[in-house]
Amino acid sequence: MAIVTFRMIPLLAAIAMIGLSAEARDDGRYANSPLKGWFESLKSKAGGPCCADADGTALDEVDWDTLDGHYRVRLLGEWITVPDDAVIKEPNRAGRTFVWPYYVNGRAMIRCFMPGSMT
């Protein structure tokens, strides 16, 4: 399972266009990415900006799906139902599915979720 942090989104978008996969860390080289401001502006009804307290994670197709009319994601090997108010409704400019998890007492919680453009 490949998990990619929010800071990797510009690189990930470029790699997705050529069909490769890779991992990287933000070292400041994405400061001028055209998607940076858009990602930082994302908000859900769950409470506040998605990127304020949690890094976004790009999910592989096998790590998210729907069950009983709700999205769910697999994080740390566990399936977690995405709260309806955590789903971002605006169009996905990056194309990939993203989740913004945070952890309370070792348990993953979902701040925001954005399905990929294929949904």
Kindly state whether residue 64 falls inside one of the protein's structural domains: yes
Phi and psi at 2, nearest 5°, equal: -95, 125
Q: Are 21 and 2 in contact (CB under 8 A)?
A: yes
Kindly state whether residue 56 falls inside one of the protein's structural domains: yes
d(CA 51, CA 112): 9
Long-range contacts of 67-72 (CB under 8 A, 24+ apart): 71/113, 71/115
pLDDT of residue 113: 94
Q: What is the DSSP letter of 95?
A: -
* 43-73 tens-digit pLDDT: 888 767 887 656 788 999 999 999 999 999 9
Kindly state whether residue 37 falls inside one of the protein's structural domains: yes
pLDDT of residue 35: 82
CATH (domain of 53): 2.40.50.180
Kindly state whether residue 119 falls inside one of the protein's structural domains: no
The total domain count for the chain is: 1
Kindly state whether residue 57 falls inside one of the protein's structural domains: yes
- Ranges of the chain whose pLDDT falls below 50: 1-2, 6, 8-27, 119
Kindly state whether residue 102 falls inside one of the protein's structural domains: yes
pLDDT of residue 47: 67
Kindly state the tokens that stand for 17.
């266009």
Q: What is the DSSP letter of 13?
A: H
Q: Domain span at residue 104?
A: 4-114
Kindly state whether residue 24 falls inside one of the protein's structural domains: yes
The residue among 74, 111, 103, 26 whose CA lies nearest residue 11 is 26
